[in-house]
Structures are given as C-alpha cells and as structure tokens.
Amino acid sequence: MPARTSKALETWHELNDRQQGTLAVIYELDQGAESGRRQDAARGRYDDRPAGEWRSIDFAHEPAMRDVFGWTALQERLMWRGWDNQGNGSTMAALERRGLITRDGRPTRWGRMHTVRLTREGRAAARAGTSLTPDGPCKAALSQRSWEVLALLWSAHLHDQPLKWGYSTTIERALIDKHVPPLARTVPGGYEITDRGRDFYREHYAAHTAAHPDVRAPHPDGTDAEPWPPAADKILAQHRQLYCALLTAWKDATKARKAAEQEAAASAPKPSGVFPDAVVAQVEARHKLWCETAQRRANLASEHTDNLHDRAEYAARAYTTAALSAYQAAIAQANPLEGMTPPISDPDTWDEPPLPAPAETGITAIDTETKKLHAAAVGRPVKRRGPAPTRRTRRGNVRVTEKPAAEPGAALYALAEHLREHVQGGTLLRRLHPAS
C-alpha cells in the first residue's frame, strides 16, 4: 500500500466516531459537488469558478434560527446519522486542527453562513475510510450508467427482443453519438445492441466489471462462465425469507399475547343498582368466563411467542452462517456453494454453530462495519469512541417513552444482511478480484 494511503488511513483511525461521521458527510457533499460539476460540463454547462468556491459547503447559519433560515444540507445529513447537536462546532474545530478541513463564511442578508471545505489531506482520509475504492476507480471506457445500460441491451438481445424504452439520453449520447460505429441503434419498440456493441461488450467485459463491480452484467460466454453462481444468491434469499417470515409470526404472537393479557386484566363491569341479584350474577359470570378465556389465549400466545423466538434466533444464525460462508468464499475466490446449505424449516436440533470472525477484504469501509456487526452478533459489541449519536428530527430529539422488545436474531440478521449486500451477484468477488 502506498505510504500516502497508509498515512491517510492512519489519520482516519485517529478520529473518534463522531469526527469520522462528520468528515464522511462532508466528503459525500464534496464528491456530490464534483460529480454534479462533471455532469453539467457533459451537458455543455461549464462552471468557471475556482475549486475553493464550488467545493465550499454551507455548514450553519448565525444566528442559528433553523425555523427561520432553514437547514443546510450538511445539517440534514448529520441529523439522519445522529451527529447533529450542540457539539457540531467543536467537532469542526477538531477537524480543522488536524488539517482535514478549513472553515470560512460569507455574509447573508440576516447574518453569516459558516462554511467548511475539505483539504487534500481530509479528502484522502475520508476516501481511505469510507470509499469502496480507496485506491481510486479502475479505468474503463464507459461510465457506470452507460455500462449498466449496455448490459441491459445485451440481456435483451439474449432474449431476442429490443430494450423496450422510450427516448434514452444515455443510449443516444453515450452509446450512439460517441462511438463509430455506434454500440446501439433505435428499432421499432425501443433500442437494440449493434454488432459493434456486442463485440465491445465481449472485449471490454473484464475492464468494466472491475471498474463497476456493482453493475450486474451477464458474462458474454454464458451462465456457466459466471464466477459467482446464482444458486448462492438463491440460498441466501431463502434464508432471509425464512427468518423474516418467522420474525413476522413472532411479532403477531407477541401482539396477540399483549392484547389477551389486557383483556384478562380488564376490570369487572359495574352492574346497575336496579338489577336483581340473579342478573348481577349473570354479568359477573360472563366477565369471569371472558377473563378466563382471555388468560388461556394469553398463555397459548406466550408459548407460541417463546417457540417462535427460538425459531427466529436459529434462522437468523443459520442465515448469518450461510452469509459468512459466501463472504469468505468471495474473499478467497472459492466456490461459495461448497460451504452453504439451504435453510431448514424444522430442524432436528437447535445447536448454535460458532460464528468465525470474517476475513478482511482490505477495504476499510467494508471491514470496519463487518467487524462492528460481527462483534455485536457474538455478544461482544465494539466499544464506542466518543459520544453516542442522538437521533433527531427537525422538531428536536426523538424521545422514546417505552423501549421496544428486542427482536430475536436482530444482531445476527444485521450482520447477515451486510454480508449479503456485498456478495450478492458476485459484487465483492469482482471488487476484490477484477480478473474474475
């Protein structure tokens, strides 16, 4: 790893959670401005302002009257991540002391807008800590969107039909106007890939899957040539479906138990004083029977809740085990099917297999989250660095009056979902092993 990258990553790790979260949001806005500028240039709209201006990001208005002056995009994103509170100013000051941002401002009609801007060191640190391509994207002839559309045209060709779209700017400008001969053409009912487009797809498939691993593009040599078997995704989807179904059943049983318990604890009605004793006895008998049957329903629902809790926990662990196996296979460039099994609806045993620590991918943005989720899943959560995030809305802090019951298998499911999202369709395999 180059020394500069190592230094940037070291700088990232020196920040606490709040500082990392704030720097990540600033980096997102910075990259969004850069991307928007490129898109405008492609449309013929050029921004001649110096980088110091268009990279400047509004932070907070002074006076801080958000109900009057509104929220900045930076405040909005910090809010959704739980980092928007009175400590924002000190966090920005800490980032500035480390040379990761500069702070400035401009006058407004009613006060002053404080601004921030990433430095080169700040951009490098944020990229090293949050980007899935910390060393920079691989070079490819087509952008991600253009490659995605060409893959759709290829897939439509395999089904011997056009891509049934109306006017497409991507096809017209990127795949037709910029290539001679063009990679696509208009036909009745939509677009289709040309002979040159098919040759281009075959010749540049490896380069583009390396540059755009998130795009699912069929292998030009057919399904058998795919390095990632679709059956692996199917098995993970089955595990996910079973867990979600059991979790829903557990929630329904829990809701039924609570409702029945409330009915069982209901106070007896007060009969009118004009009723004779026999009628009063009838009212009391009906209420007693109602409470007794409600208690029986509550007991039954409680038994079901306990059973479904255990089943959901087992399904979540099985899902996580399968996802870990697929994740490890992608890193090792192995066949994921060798270590995966379909879910078992009614297992004979309730053994809990251990969850080994996942191997590292070498991509900090992936490895950091994987470690955190794995630690929570095995009951050893990573110690928080700095203050905890506070969930807020535009109306202030969110106050939770009653803590909801922990869902069975929630930590396991979170880990499994994280792993599945990365391996699905061979994305992680292509990201780590571009030649695959």
258-290 pLDDT, tens per residue? Answer: 999 999 999 888 877 788 889 889 988 999 999
| Highest mean pLDDT: which range of 56-70, 120-134, 237-251 | 237-251
Residue that the structure tokens 């290829």 belong to: 154
Which residues 6+ apart lie within 8 Å of 332 measured at CB? 359
- pLDDT tens-digit map of 336-389: 999 899 998 787 776 677 899 999 999 999 999 999 999 999 998 888 777 767
**Encoded amino acid at 242, one letter:** L
Cα–Cα distance, 413 to 316 (Å, whole number): 5
Contact status, residue 35 vs residue 84, Cβ threshold 8 Å: no
Which residues 6+ apart lie within 8 Å of 79 measured at CB? 71, 392, 393, 394
Does the pLDDT at position 67 exceed 70?
yes
Instruction: Give the pLDDT of residue 402.
Output: 52
> pTM of whole model > 0.85?
no
| Highest mean pLDDT: which range of 37-51, 278-292, 406-420 | 406-420
Strand, coil or helix: 55: coil
Contact status, residue 113 vs residue 106, Cβ threshold 8 Å: yes
- pLDDT tens-digit map of 88-112: 889 999 999 999 999 999 999 999 9
Indicate the DSSP class of residue 163.
Answer: B
Cα–Cα distance, 166 to 188 (Å, whole number): 10
